[in-house]
Structure 1
Amino acid sequence: MAREELARFLRERREGLRPHEIGLPTSTPRRIPGLRREEVAELAHMSVDYYTRLEQDRGPRPSPRILDALAQALRLTPAERSHLFRLAGSSAPPGTNAVRRVRPQVARMLLRLPETGAIVTDAAYGVVAWNPLAQALLGDDLGRGTTNLAQRRFLGRGHMYESSSAEEFGHIVVARLRRAADRYQHDAQLAALLTELRAGSEEFRQTWETRPVHTPGHRAKTLDHPTAGKLRLNCDVLLVPEDDQEVVLITADPGSPSARTLDRLAARVS
């Protein structure tokens, strides 16, 4: 384990991230750029003391699970993730299959957010859980449990109401799929999805070749809903690092016309 190099690598990656890249507010000026240690610790679901010791070359050898959580919290590329594992003296496991079942506690959280649209996506952008408001926003086919947002985006399967930032979302989808392909090299379902996307979408093939890596924690978009009209929405991402899944929370700015429309939709489906 290269403790000093590992500590330096963690510091550099933390200082290189900007709060808005992971969905944190940027209204308060910061004395130095980058994330705070406590912010990285929270994203990686570990104590601030443990993370601080790693950065100060005083920590124990981190487990593969801890390394995976840090890689996601710091938005590392597949190459950077492999480098992190090497510095810690571990082999970066490619994984076998992506986790496609949601943890019960995560599913319960979704149901406790009646005024917020919420979905859970797996590493291949399959929707594995959702709440009623998310289904009202994203289409009834969400309830059949076979929705994949990559297929929606590039193959036109199911409802795709988004009318803005479609190109940006496409790059986000491909960045995550590239990361999944590196991590789950023996996942037959993921391999079949990538084959289907390459065969069915020239845009997907071209975007894949650009090797996008950025997957922001916050994104604003306009949804052109068939009954509710145009909605200006915010999408904020929370990580479930143990399962390599993301919880996407869909809200609107407080007091806005879109927020009032969301309230009406939530009342209708509650």
Structure 2
Amino acid sequence: MQLIDIGVNLTHPSFADQRQALLERAFAAGVCQMLVTGTSLDESEQAAELCHELDDSGERLFSTAGVHPHDAKSWNSDSTARLKALLAEPRVRAVGECGLDFNRDFSPRPQQEKALEEQLALAAALQMPVFLHERDADQRLLEILRDYRDRLPAAVVHCFTGEKRALFNYLDLDLHIGITGWICDERRGSHLHPLVREIPVGRLMLESDSPFLLPRSLRPKPKSGRNEPALLVEVLREVALHRGETLQSLASHSTACARHFFNLPSVAEAGADQPAR
């Protein structure tokens, strides 16, 4: 059984000096490929560098490059050119993480929208998929996306946590949906239990969003309190339970979906438990 983790914050300081061991645990758990998330221009550069540093094979680690809405206040006249150069890197497979966050508003909303629109325009020009972030902003995100959707090859709403209305609107716009350990959180994620049944095969992908969103259903809970890609298996179990699918079936179609979305190479199952280097 193979899994692809489409969202790993491998640049996070809590993973420093542990990254190789983290990857080995992931491969041993069946997570055969990962997308390292870029959330700022600096971190997107670091994400691409980590792919080369930690994966000599060129088959296991890939990344995204973009500016998160929290960092949109840093977007300026040079950002598009710098991001375009990053997107030319072979390991970089999507534009993002970009989007809107009207929950925390760490960047002013007009700046969030400007940064998003310029990244969507770049994705359309380069014909690259988009890795989207949205919190409390689904209506505005949909309004902006509608102007670009016909020109974009694909887009995924990463770490979907919204309600039924938002999910159906995203699916109507032919978007993909990423599900994280949020679904394992009995305090705030139980509304996702019936909703994951509504995501069609071919639109659903799984992600850890590590080191965040440690699945609360894990027993025993890791002493570190930190999530990591090896624990994506717990997300698989929870999603399969609420979709009424076997683990193998869900792993098979969600992995195939991610591989197609990010244009990833196939990886032989034999040896999938071995580190990349």
TM-score with structure 1 setting the length: 0.28
Q: Name the structure with the higher helix share.
A: 1
Q: Structure with the greater relative contact order (CA < 8 A, sep ≥ 6): 1 or 2?
A: 2
